[in-house]
Amino acid sequence: NRQRQTHLPMRKTPSNNRWPNRSQLESFYGRPGTGHTMLELPFPMRIAWNKRQTINRVTVHSKCADSLDRILKEILQVYGYDEIKRLGIDLFGGIYNNRNIRGGSVPSVHAYAASIDLDPERNQLRWGSDRAVFAKPVYSKMIDAFEREGWGSLGRERGYDFMHFQASTI
């Protein structure tokens, strides 16, 4: 039932970042749960499951922290905080979670703190572009910001899991 086509244009600008593929995650990032740092966010983010609670920093892998910082600063510059909040881009669904991929036996990119989920309620894992809000054209500049830094977008590249962006190839 997934709709594979999106309303979003494909990547426009190649990234200088060289993120690992699935088989290189541990050799690049180290063992899951290691190499983390705290990143001060350029705008407050609301916890997706408790929107009254906000955070100002997140745990992320040190190798992709500067890249995520640039992405979020670009998103802030492009949209402004009021629009970020109106669009739900500030709804934080998580970065670090030492777990395996859904239904699998290998660590998730989240286990390396090298991926972020945004607005998970309105961009659910199995939703295609017919339902996910991040498939709408107004979000294309946000996804472009991730892709300019080389972060993979499952939504744009595979047509599902629009909430998920990772410092790894898809």
Mind listing the pLDDT tens digit for each residue in 110-163?
A: 999 999 999 999 999 999 999 999 999 999 999 999 999 999 999 999 999 999
CB 58 within 8 A of CB 95: yes
Model-level pTM? 0.90
pLDDT tens digits, residue range 33-78? 999 999 999 999 999 999 999 999 999 999 999 999 999 999 999 9
pLDDT at 16: 75
Q: How confident is the model at residue 103 (pLDDT cuts 50, 70, 90)?
A: confident
Strands (E), 48-170: 50-61, 91-94, 115-118, 152-153, 164-166
pLDDT of the residue at 92:
98
Question: Quick one: which H or E segment has residue 36?
Answer: strand 36-47
Q: Residue 107: which of 20, 2, 4, 37 has the closest Cα? A: 20
